[in-house]
């Protein structure tokens, strides 16, 4: 499912914390995900479901994308997580996030369960989206099939902490570079996820950075996945939100430049502009491929609410 929901910053909110469920509503994150999985102890899961239903129904989330992360399908909790949250707050919920997805069948199960719930509750069938977290080798190897498993899928998310554990990666600092490896140890995983996401017109989301007080280190990690083309990143602390919103938006220069290319290309390819295919914009030659890159950049800027600071004027006008 192509979706234009903004997800530059995806804030994790433990479902067991009434305080965080309240506070998160006023923060500037594009998305919140109310967690029933790893941030909630087994004995607190039943109460967390109730807290989440109440927070979705009674809270003011101010246009944020509202997601619930359920437990993964190897646990005894998943079906109840889905049924209780959708029965309790299905009309105030945008997506269910399924962690540790390993095969397309996991997604198919969630799709069918959501369809049954939507039918029995009188909700629009297909209205609730799915976010799939890739957190181990099996999930990554199957990521193409997972991305294709349901039209409900909106995002593919990298879960670095679980992933590192699953492949025995020799580092304890999630997302950080390792001085023993002369490259970015996450590059292959990120690109693999990005290709599957783009092939199916989905968003690609980077996972958490756990050193929550070190915003400079967060920025470094986030810039790497943003440079590849990722759409956003998890944030675990209010201090990481502004950095994510900035890093996953285009710079003002790139946004202005993209809008200029679109205007210039539209003009020069027209009758009035001379029906040209490849033209000069300042010192740069632009053609159809430049237009395609500009479309993507301009869309990101518009979704981030950016305003232009320049306008196009034909040279001989
Ligand atoms: C997130 O769920 C992670 O495992 O990094
Ligand atoms: Mg995880």
Encode pLDDT of 250-275 as tens digits: 999 999 999 999 999 999 999 998 89
What is the C-alpha separation between 33 and 66, in angstroms, rounded?
Answer: 6
CA dist 176 to 36, 137, 217, Å?
Answer: 26, 19, 8
Q: Is 159 in the pocket of ligand 1 (CB under 6 A)?
A: yes
Please report the domains of the chain, with CATH numbers, ordered by start residue.
9-247 (3.20.20.60), 252-303 (no CATH)
- Nearest-CA residue for ligand 1 atom 1 is 159
Q: Give per-residue pLDDT as tens, 225-256.
A: 999 999 999 999 999 999 999 999 999 999 99
Q: Is 162 in the pocket of ligand 1 (CB under 6 A)?
A: yes
The CA 202 to ligand 1 mean position distance, Å, reads 19
Q: Give per-residue pLDDT as tens, 116-134.
A: 999 999 999 999 999 999 9
Taken in order 232, 238, 239, 245, is the CA torsion positive or negative?
Answer: positive
DSSP helix/strand/coil, 154: strand
- Nearest-CA residue for ligand 1 atom 3 is 159
Q: Is 208 in the pocket of ligand 1 (CB under 6 A)?
A: yes
The CA 157 to ligand 1 mean position distance, Å, reads 9
Q: Is 161 in the pocket of ligand 1 (CB under 6 A)?
A: yes
Q: Give per-residue pLDDT as tens, 11-37.
A: 999 999 999 999 999 999 999 999 999
* Ligand located closest to 209 CA: 1
Q: Is 301 in the pocket of ligand 1 (CB under 6 A)?
A: no
Q: Which atom of ligand 1 is nearest to the CA of 234?
A: 1
Instruction: Provide the phi-psi class of 126: left if phi over 0, else alpha when psi is between -120 and 50, else beta.
Output: left
Q: Is 175 in the pocket of ligand 1 (CB under 6 A)?
A: no
pLDDT at 137: 97
54: tokens are 């109440």
Q: Which residue has the tokens 């198919």?
A: 108
4: tokens are 């234009």
Burial class (CB in 10 A: 0-12, 13-18, 19+), 58: exposed
User: 207, 210, 212: which to mutate for ligand 1, most atoms within 8 A of CB?
Assistant: 207
- Nearest-CA residue for ligand 1 atom 2 is 159
What is the C-alpha separation between 127 and 312, in angstroms, rounded?
Answer: 40
Pairing type for strands 284-286 and 279-281 reads antiparallel
pLDDT at 304: 85
pTM of the model: 0.93
């Amino acid at each position: 499912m192509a979706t234009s929901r903004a997800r530059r910053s995806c804030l994790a909110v433990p479902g067991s914390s009434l305080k965080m469920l309240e506070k998160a509503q006023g923060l500037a994150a594009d998305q919140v995900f109310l967690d029933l999985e790893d941030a909630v102890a087994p004995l607190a899961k039943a109460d967390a479901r109730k807290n989440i239903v109440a927070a979705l129904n009674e809270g003011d989330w101010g246009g944020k994308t509202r997601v619930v992360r359920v437990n993964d399908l190897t646990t005894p909790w998943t079906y109840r997580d889905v049924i209780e949250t959708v029965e309790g707050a299905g009309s105030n919920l945008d997506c269910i996030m399924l962690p540790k997805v390993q095969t397309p069948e996991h997604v198919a199960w969630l799709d069918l369960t959501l369809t049954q719930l939507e039918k029995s509750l009188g909700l629009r069938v297909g209205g609730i989206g799915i976010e799939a977290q890739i957190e181990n080798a099996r999930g990554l190897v199957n990521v193409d099939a997972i991305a294709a498993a349901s039209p409900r899928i909106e995002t593919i998310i990298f879960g670095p902490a679980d992933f590192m554990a699953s492949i025995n990666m020799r580092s304890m600092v999630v997302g950080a570079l390792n001085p023993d490896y002369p490259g970015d140890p996450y590059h292959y995983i990120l690109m693999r996820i990005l290709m599957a996401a783009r092939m199916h017109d989905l968003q690609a989301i980077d996972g958490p950075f756990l050193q929550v007080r070190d915003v400079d280190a967060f920025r470094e990690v986030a810039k790497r996945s943003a440079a590849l083309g990722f759409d956003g990143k998890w944030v675990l602390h209010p201090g990481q939100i502004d950095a994510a919103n900035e890093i996953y938006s285009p710079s003002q220069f790139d946004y202005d430049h993209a809008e200029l290319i679109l205007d210039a290309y539209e003009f020069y390819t027209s009758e009035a502009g001379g029906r040209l295919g490849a033209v000069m914009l300042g010192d740069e030659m632009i053609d159809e491929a430049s237009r395609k890159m500009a479309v993507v950049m301009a869309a990101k800027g518009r979704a981030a609410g950016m305003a232009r600071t320049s306008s196009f004027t034909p040279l001989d006008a």
